[in-house]
């Protein structure tokens, strides 16, 4: 299929092209309190007319 290469060749090529094996941190899940506050706000503004 392809040429054989060392395992260090692939990371070196990625590094040279500006790609690094970093992964973004996951977004923290919402706790119960902020969800409750947000739902109260939504319920208050549910009957507001559209702009």
Location of structure tokens 């040429």? 3
pLDDT for residue 51 is more than 70: no
pLDDT of res. 41: 92
pLDDT of res. 40: 93
CA distance 38 to 4: 56
Location of structure tokens 């260090």? 8
Q: Are the C-beta atoms of residues 41 and 34 closer than 8 Å to each other?
A: no
pLDDT of res. 38: 92
pLDDT of res. 1: 62
- Say if pTM beats, i.e. exceeds, 0.95: no
Instruction: List pLDDT tens digits, range 1-50.
Output: 677 777 778 888 888 888 877 777 888 788 889 899 999 999 998 888 87
Give φ, ψ of 15 to 5 degrees.
-65, -40
């Amino acid at each position: 299929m392809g040429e054989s290469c060392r395992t260090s060749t692939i990371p070196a090529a990625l590094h040279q092209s500006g790609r690094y094996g970093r992964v973004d941190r996951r977004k923290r899940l919402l706790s119960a309190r902020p969800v409750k506050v947000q739902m109260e706000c939504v319920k208050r503004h549910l009957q507001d007319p559209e702009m």
